[in-house]
């Protein structure tokens, strides 16, 4: 599968990018393994996951061309 990944906030700083395309992904856990292999510090951060702009409460089932966003906690005023 082709999966588009968006990184926001501190996660964009950790990965040094806001967007990354992954190919050959077979599941969400496979995607996480690839991300953690590329960016070992990623495991130290808290984040929410959205797939195609919908927040997920459990591990999502991915489909080809899905967009996965990693959203760290945001502060606002």
pTM: 0.92
From residue 4, give the alpha-carbon distance in Å to each of 66, 75, 77: 6, 25, 30
Tens-place pLDDT, residues 26-44: 999 999 999 999 999 999 9
Query: What average pLDDT does this structure show over 3-32?
Result: 97
Domain assignments of the chain as residue spans, ordered by start:
3-71
CATH topology of domain 3-71: Ubiquitin-like (UB roll) (3.10.20)
CA separation for the pair 64, 46 (Å, rounded):
26
CA separation for the pair 13, 32 (Å, rounded):
17
pLDDT > 70 fraction of the chain, expressed in percent and rounded? 96
């Amino acid at each position: 599968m082709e999966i588009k990944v968006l990184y926001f906030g501190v996660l964009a700083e950790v990965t040094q990018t806001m967007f990354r395309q992954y190919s050959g992904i077979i599941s969400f856990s496979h995607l996480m393994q690839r991300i953690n292999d590329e960016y070992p510090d990623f495991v130290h951060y808290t984040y929410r996951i959205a797939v195609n702009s919908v927040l997920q409460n459990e591990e999502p089932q991915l489909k080809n061309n899905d967009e996965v966003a990693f959203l760290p906690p945001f502060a606002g005023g």
